Structure 1
């Protein structure tokens, strides 16, 4: 499989007054197209900083981030925004749904930027919500749904435009065990079905079993990388 992401000597240093805090130091790794990759580490290990760098949410202090032969570190803000619209989806721990919009409107939102006609994007959003088991919640707002339902809406939104890469930042952090399994099955199943690349950041060893490869992070460095030969099999076809 070809590499879709290449990270070379990535370093991130934050300045706090006169102090310098090194969040990442000379990190190099590759992620392949269609791979489910888990970045595992405790709070403060640098895993979320790495995700933010790869997703173009923060600029590195040094190093290269090459995604589909595009150098993110050389892009300006407008170019990075366009890149994310074209290639990337996000799933967040806190769902990040717009509270005044319905589930249907939240999921259809990424398609607005592509200039798609209203009827077509609503039909696609309905299909995605049905795929995540929320076909009967189309017109519910976030406040009318449980945490698990909100995260399903978030997953539908992340996948609706069929992005080549999906970033998931602690996607099960606010969920109970049963809902966590359902959410992980959903994301794993969708990425396998459409050969998408999924990069998940977590501190939870139990969710890491769903990944093809686990990258252990400690103190801003890659501690070790393990191929997951006993990968959890998702329970439903999507």
Structure 2
């Protein structure tokens, strides 16, 4: 497997008045292309800060972040935004759908920034909505859908255009247990089928079992790394 994300000696310190808060303390980590990786930790562990660093949403205090051969930590805001538009998708806990747009319009939106013509955008959006089981909800707005359906729209939006990397930030935080299992199986299957790198950030151990590798983060440090046998996990869930 080839490395798609390389993090070396990553450190993030926030200043709060006269106080210094160390959110990440010299973290080093490689993530492979096509890997499903989960960053697991409690609130305040540094997991969300780590995601923000990798995605170029925040700058580190020091350290190296290399994504697809690009030094994200050295890019200015304009360049990193263009990089995300081309290579990255996001699934959010709160869905982050635009309320006045239909499911089709929400999913097609990221493709606008790639310069894709409208007809092709709509075709791709329809294909992704069908893939997540919402082919009959194209014209529905978020307020006309359940939480699980809204998250499926969010997933379709993240994966449309087949970005090489998809970040899922607490993707099941607002969902019940049954819908959580459906959503996790859905995003991991889509990523695996398209050889996409999927990085899940969560506090939920139940969610982490769907990943190939679990990075346990605590107090800004990598506490341990655990490998999952995905086939065994699926068999246990089917037996349950």
* TM-score, structure 2 as length reference: 0.96
User: Where does residue 173 of structure 1 map in the other structure?
Assistant: 173
What is the RMSD of the two structures over their aligned residues, measured on CA atoms?
1.1
Which residue number in structure 2 is paired with residue 104 of structure 1?
Answer: 104
| Cα distance in structure 2, aligned partners of 1:74 and 1:111 | 26
Cα deviation, residue 229, structure 1: 2.0
CA distance in 2, matches of 1:211, 1:58: 25
Per-residue Cα deviation, 1:148-205 (whole angstroms, up to 9, x for no partner): 0000000000000100000000000000001001100110100110000000000100
Alignment-derived partner of residue 28 in structure 2:
28
Q: What is the CA-CA distance between 1:222 and the residue it aligns to?
A: 0.1
Tell me the equivalent position of 1:149. Answer: 149
| Other-structure match for 1:19 | 19
The within-5 A match list for 1:1-238 is 1-231=1-231, 232-233=233-234
1:111-161 per-residue CA deviation (whole Å, 9 max, x = no partner) reads 111111111110110111011000111011111111000000000000001
How many pairs align? 235
* Counterpart Cα distance in 2 of 1:42 and 1:11: 19
In the alignment, structure 2 segments of 5+ residues that lack a partner are: none
Give the secondary structure class of the aligned counterpart of 2:58. Answer: coil
TM-score (norm 1): 0.97
- 1:60 CA drift (Å): 0.4
> Aligned partners of 1:26 and 1:12: how far apart in 2?
8
Give unmatched runs, 5+ long, in structure 1. Answer: none
Taking the aligned partners of 1:90 and 1:103, their CA distance within structure 2 comes to 16
Q: What SS does the aligned partner of 2:94 have?
A: coil
Q: How far apart, in 2, do the equivalents of 1:116 and 1:68 lie?
A: 23
